Structure 1
Amino acid sequence: MRQHLSAITFFVDDYDNAIEYFTTVLNFTLTEDKATGEDSRFVLVTPPNSSASLLLAQAKNDVELALIGNQAADKVFLILNTDDFWRDFNEMQSKGVVFLETPREEVYGTVAIFKDKFGNKWDLIQTSE
């Protein structure tokens, strides 16, 4: 049996605002954007060379609104793996991404935690070979 994650729901306040952030700041690709009803869209953004995407979901009620920026409480929500940590770290910093720590070398690779524009924590990591 073969299985893999294809998408993870990611709550946002506005589709277009989120698309702009992910495509211009994090260099994701807009892989799908279809209207699915009144004020509803199926929007996927995907990191370069990734098989998994984020399914952007515009929050529509108080429960969903409370999840924006808080999808994993105060824990790291997502891990963005890269083949060149310093390239991506420097580019992200130049685009205003806030890193919560100085990059560090761990036995598993180079890593630093950052916050996305919504408030979720991510790891940017280049794993050791």
Structure 2
Amino acid sequence: MNQGIETVGLYVRDQEEALAFYVGKLGFVVHTDAGNGDYRWLTVQHPDQPGFQLGLFRPGPPVHDAATAQALNALVAKGAMPPLVLTVNDCQAVYKQWSAAGVEFNQEPVERYGTVDAGFRDPSGNGWKLIERATAGA
């Protein structure tokens, strides 16, 4: 049996805003954008990782009732969800590039644990860690 994780979902408050951020600022590409009534299945991919999708989903019907959707949106906005990790070859360079594109970082690059990392949040409040890959032999 062949199994694997293909899509991980993020809750976002506005799918158009999330799309503009992930595609326009971070350089992801759209994989799937399909609607079914009020529900929209929207996934993006990192260009260097085509087999993995990041789902940009709005809490709400048909999956959640209105109260649950409101609670989930509030948790995301507070940064209460676990951060996601994106590895890069040069954290300082990506930090400069994305800062110039309008990504707001809540932690500038810091050297620690033998590598460099930075932190940012998407427009909905989802936290991200940007971590530089350790060099071979380090």
Which range, TM-score by smaller chain? Answer: 0.7 to 0.9
1:58 aligns with 2:64: no
Instruction: Report deviation, 1:89.
Output: 0.7
Q: Deviations over 1:99-122 (max 9, x none)?
A: 222311123421011111111211
1:73 Cα deviation after fit: 5.3
- Contact preservation (8 Å) 1:13, 1:65: no
The match for 1:42 is 41
Partner residue in 1 for 2:93: 87
* Change in CA separation of 1:109 and 1:69 when aligned onto 2, cut-off 3 Å: farther
Which runs of structure 1 show a deviation greater than 3 angstroms over 4 or more consecutive aligned residues?
1-4, 68-76
Aligned twin of 1:104: 110
**Deviation (angstroms), 1:18:** 1.5
Residue in 1 that maps onto 2:63: none
TM-score under structure 2 normalisation?
Answer: 0.78
Which ranges of structure 2 fall in alignment gaps of 5 or more residues? 61-65
Larger Rg, first or second structure (1 or 2): 2
Q: Percent identity?
A: 25
Paired residues, number:
128
CA distance in 2, matches of 1:3, 1:117: 32
TM-score by length of 1: 0.83
Give distance in 2, aligned partners of 1:69 and 1:105.
32
